[in-house]
A and B are shown apart, each in its own frame.
Chain A
Amino acid sequence: MHKQLDLDRVSIHYGGFQAVSEISFSLAEGHIGCILGPSGCGKTSLLRAIAGFETLSDGSISLRGDIISAPDTLQPPEKRGVGMVFQDFALFPHLTVEANIGFGLAKQAPATRDSRITEMLDLVGLHNVHKRYPHQLSGGQQQRVALARALAPNPKILLLDEPFSNLDSVRRSQLASEIRTLLVRSKITTLMVTHDQDEAFAMADQIILLNHGRVLQKGTPRDLYQRPATVFAADFIGAGKLIDIGIDASGRLDHNLGVLPKGPHCSRTNSRITLLLRHDAVVFDDCGTHQLAILDKVFQGANNLYTLALPDGQSIACLTPSPIDFTVGETLRVRFDLDEAIMFNSCA
């Protein structure tokens, strides 16, 4: 499969502020990519640059092999063949659902146009509301109209800007999987941006993690979860606690937590590392090696999430089935499962 979208050392400046620095990645045809990062990380600037609303200060963006953006070239948005779904959907309030979807088909013959509109209405399942105006639709329906409108002209790539942020959280995960199914079925190359890792996990084949305008890590959702490259990535993606802990030359951790099974250990004795313990690394066990004080308990329905204190006072988290019911102040017996534990700053 060839590269549908290719970014090569893309930088964007606003005055003296560098919003995006030397970002490179590419997206294969039919894949769904996701730029994930906290607000202000430059992800929206990047998306708008691909759409043609921002100029690059360095680098280039190519679509199907043609350069569309570079410091000295800026193909106007209307010539790019890029479809975009905006965060607030940006539906045309004076046009019906039908007319909104048909807006990008102005150059086509009326018959082709009508059949394409019908096709799109079928795709997003909005046949019964095609004569309505945007203000008469629910948030989810508006989003589907925005999607159908962006897909109607058959774009080379579809851009989604925080597609679920305007919807209630209950419907988000359901809509995310619906939309993923729809995009995969239509074989549309898609790039979305979000700050929510659950949305990213639900939608993406490939995640580009961004912070302060730089790529921190690229990979599949599973890669990012299991092998975060930095403390930031570990903290931002997935649940878990980072602790600061001493380690000796053989990989043995302080407090008798265990021995780190693999990875380069320090030759020096008594160095300190940062260790990521996912919830599943701390296992409730009646015969466990450690008895730790319970600092806090959150009832989550099927599970209880306990916050426990290590002997030095740092807190770690442990997820148990909800029948395992203790109260704050009591102790919980656990063992440590360090197969998946991740170590940072070794020998720092």
Chain B
Amino acid sequence: MEIITESNRFPRTRHQEWGWRHLATLSTIILTVPVLVILASLLQPFGPAWQHLFTTVLSDYIITSVILLLGVGVGTLTLGVGTAWLTAVCDFPGRTLLTWALLLPLAMPAYIIAYTYTGLLDVSGPVQSSLRAFFAWSYGDYYFPQIRSLPGAICMLSLVLYPYVYLLAYVSFARQSGAIAEASRTLGKGPWQSFFSVSLPMARPAIVAGVSLALMETLADYGTVAYFGVSAFTTGIFRTWFGLGDLTTAAQLCALLLLFVFALMSIERESRRRLRFYPNSARIQPARLLLRAWRGWAALFFGSLIVSLGFLVPALQLLQWASSRWEHVFDDAFMTLLGNSFLLAAAAALSCLFVSLLLAYSKRRYNQRREHVQVEVAKLGYAVPGTVIAVGIMLPAGWLDQHVSGFLSNWFDNPPELFLSGTLGIVLLAYVIRFLSIALQTVESGLSAITPSIDESAQSLGASSIKLLKHVHLPLLKPSLLTALLLVFVDVLKELPTTLILRPFNFNTLAVRTFELASDERLADAALPALAIVVMGLLPVMLITRSLLRGSAQHA
């Protein structure tokens, strides 16, 4: 019976299907190669450069990274939980506005906010100049904290990464059933006691997941720590590779970094697993704590301060710089930059979408262990820092180039030396590895809404497979597909370290150009490409805002 249905459903596509299924597996394998290469580097002998690293800077990298993680952890936890608590649990003037405004810093890449604050707070910057003018101090008369430092990096990263914690904590607080808080009240706990003994513990897994995500981004960051001259892991990898020219040691450092990443990832996964057991049916909307008089204004001030520091101040500074240098920077070269970036991001978004569809449909169609593992493995990329992916791609690509070139020299004089390295193809591959999970998750959640019974009812009405895809799946999936494209597109635009390592010679993107100009202390010139990235970054923020506000409207 089973067999008859199967062959009826797909009468002529047995061979094609077989092909698609294996293509899905093959893509997963290709996607995992870089990480496997990095892990395999641990099996190689540790070279003299490693001995050197070990005795000199390795402990520095580790300690700095750990301090950075602790600092950003505390920072994002405080800012994220504090703001989520205010906007989801309390009520005060301006709450609705703040609820979405608090997401704005998501649009601000850390390396951009870092160099903007450097311009603002440096000795020659507007803040210190005004202080000197006002108090009639001169240089050296006063103490001013150095922004380009480890604490500075902690502040910058916390200011732009807290929205991860805020978002997850907000949703968790907002969807908690009001009945649970009320149950605690009838059992003798006051409103504040109830918050601390019930609401907060119930949000704990969400908060932990949010902090883990923020910390993964911290480990992946290269732009900020490099610009501030902080010796974190990613800076160490760049130095080892480009400074010492030691690929193996760089890969071994990457492997060490991956251990940190895996630890964070397992914490995040465990938290999310626990979150599933927590009911989130808000049948009774919990009563908000009304913050009266000065408390309400203090809440508004605190929220606005964070939005200003994390978004408004740097965005306005960028705007001011960009307009002051407009005629110098808005030229053909900038248009080329825009074109390059957009084309690359669009190509990456389409590739991610294609692979996502391949894997998601494969899982839906065969639904076996192999497909489930494939999807899970393919999703791991979001946690792997761009630097690690880039190194993991460069090593095998270089090896292949060498061998292909050597092979061809048997027949040709002077065969080309680089087939893979320095091509846009491997840049795209790196993007797909890093950003596939965003697209895949979006596509999967879209597909999950199309239950198998929808397929079966369409087929019982006489729809062929093609017709089913075209008239049922495509219209239903369209919003998810567009969301997936947009999310990957914007993430690629913001991406720095992978592009920096893998891009073809003389090929620039907005992110790379911003970073180069900022590193050359041409802060004002860097403002226009930076601003372009920030403006594009606002698009996904708008998407999240919409679903967040719609979600809370439903529960109101």
Give A contacts to B, CB under 8 Å: 51-53, 76-78, 80, 82-84, 86-88, 90-94, 103-104, 106-107, 133-135, 149-150, 153, 155
28 contacting pairs across A/B (C-beta < 8 A) = A52-B185, A53-B182, A53-B287, A76-B190, A77-B185, A77-B186, A78-B186, A83-B186, A84-B182, A84-B183, A84-B186, A86-B182, A87-B283, A88-B179, A90-B179, A92-B183, A92-B198, A92-B202, A93-B279, A94-B201, A94-B202, A94-B204, A94-B278, A104-B187, A107-B188, A134-B277, A149-B183, A149-B187
Give B contacts to A, CB under 8 Å: 177, 179-180, 182-190, 197-198, 201-202, 204, 277-279, 281, 283, 287
With A92-B198, A104-B188 known to touch, is A86 a contact of B183 (CB < 8 Å)? yes
With A86-B179, A87-B179, A88-B283 known to touch, is A93 a contact of B186 (CB < 8 Å)? no
Candidate in A90, A104, A153 with the most chain B CB atoms within 10 angstroms: A90
Q: What residue in chain A is nearest B194 (Cβ atoms)? A: A78
- Taking CB atoms, residues of chain A closer than 8 Å to B182 are 51, 53, 77, 84, 86, 90
Assembled-state Cα–Cα distance A83/B281 (Å): 22
Q: What residue in chain B is nearest A161 (Cβ atoms)? A: B179
- Taking CB atoms, residues of chain A closer than 8 Å to B277 are 93, 133-135
With A52-B185, A88-B283, A93-B277 known to touch, is A78 a contact of B190 (CB < 8 Å)? yes
CB atoms of A106 and B188 under 8 A apart: yes
Beyond A53-B287, A88-B177, A103-B197, list 19 extra A-B contacts (CB 8 Å).
Answer: A53-B185, A78-B186, A78-B187, A82-B186, A83-B187, A84-B183, A87-B283, A88-B279, A90-B179, A90-B182, A90-B183, A92-B180, A92-B184, A93-B279, A103-B184, A103-B187, A106-B188, A107-B188, A149-B183
Assembled-state Cα–Cα distance A51/B281 (Å): 21
- Taking CB atoms, residues of chain B closer than 8 Å to A103 are 184, 187, 197
- Taking CB atoms, residues of chain B closer than 8 Å to A86 are 179, 182-183
CB atoms of B278 and A93 under 8 A apart: yes
CB atoms of A76 and B188 under 8 A apart: no
Candidate in B186, B197, B287 with the most chain A CB atoms within 10 angstroms: B186
CB atoms of B189 and A78 under 8 A apart: yes
Q: What residue in chain A is nearest B190 (Cβ atoms)? A: A78
Q: What residue in chain B is nearest A136 (Cβ atoms)? A: B277
Q: What residue in chain B is nearest A44 (Cβ atoms)? A: B284
Q: What residue in chain A is nearest B189 (Cβ atoms)? A: A78
- Taking CB atoms, residues of chain B closer than 8 Å to A155 are 186
- Taking CB atoms, residues of chain B closer than 8 Å to A92 are 180, 183-184, 198, 202
Assembled-state Cα–Cα distance A290/B185 (Å): 62
Assembled-state Cα–Cα distance A92/B198 (Å): 7
Q: What residue in chain B is nearest A101 (Cβ atoms)? A: B187
Assembled-state Cα–Cα distance A139/B515 (Å): 58
- Taking CB atoms, residues of chain A closer than 8 Å to B183 are 84, 86, 90-92, 149
Assembled-state Cα–Cα distance A17/B338 (Å): 58
CB atoms of A150 and B278 under 8 A apart: no
Assembled-state Cα–Cα distance A90/B180 (Å): 5
- Taking CB atoms, residues of chain A closer than 8 Å to B177 are 88, 90
- Taking CB atoms, residues of chain A closer than 8 Å to B198 are 92
CB atoms of A153 and B188 under 8 A apart: yes
Assembled-state Cα–Cα distance A134/B278 (Å): 9
- Taking CB atoms, residues of chain B closer than 8 Å to A107 are 188
- Taking CB atoms, residues of chain B closer than 8 Å to A77 are 182, 185-186
Assembled-state Cα–Cα distance A155/B180 (Å): 18
Assembled-state Cα–Cα distance A328/B166 (Å): 65
Assembled-state Cα–Cα distance A84/B187 (Å): 8
Assembled-state Cα–Cα distance A94/B283 (Å): 19
Assembled-state Cα–Cα distance A77/B180 (Å): 13
- Taking CB atoms, residues of chain A closer than 8 Å to B204 are 94
- Taking CB atoms, residues of chain A closer than 8 Å to B189 are 78, 106
Report the minimal beta-carbon distance from A341 to chain B, rounded to whole angstroms: 42
Assembled-state Cα–Cα distance A134/B198 (Å): 14
Assembled-state Cα–Cα distance A223/B467 (Å): 63
- Taking CB atoms, residues of chain A closer than 8 Å to B185 are 52-53, 76-78
Assembled-state Cα–Cα distance A82/B180 (Å): 15
Candidate in A53, A84, A93 with the most chain B CB atoms within 10 angstroms: A93
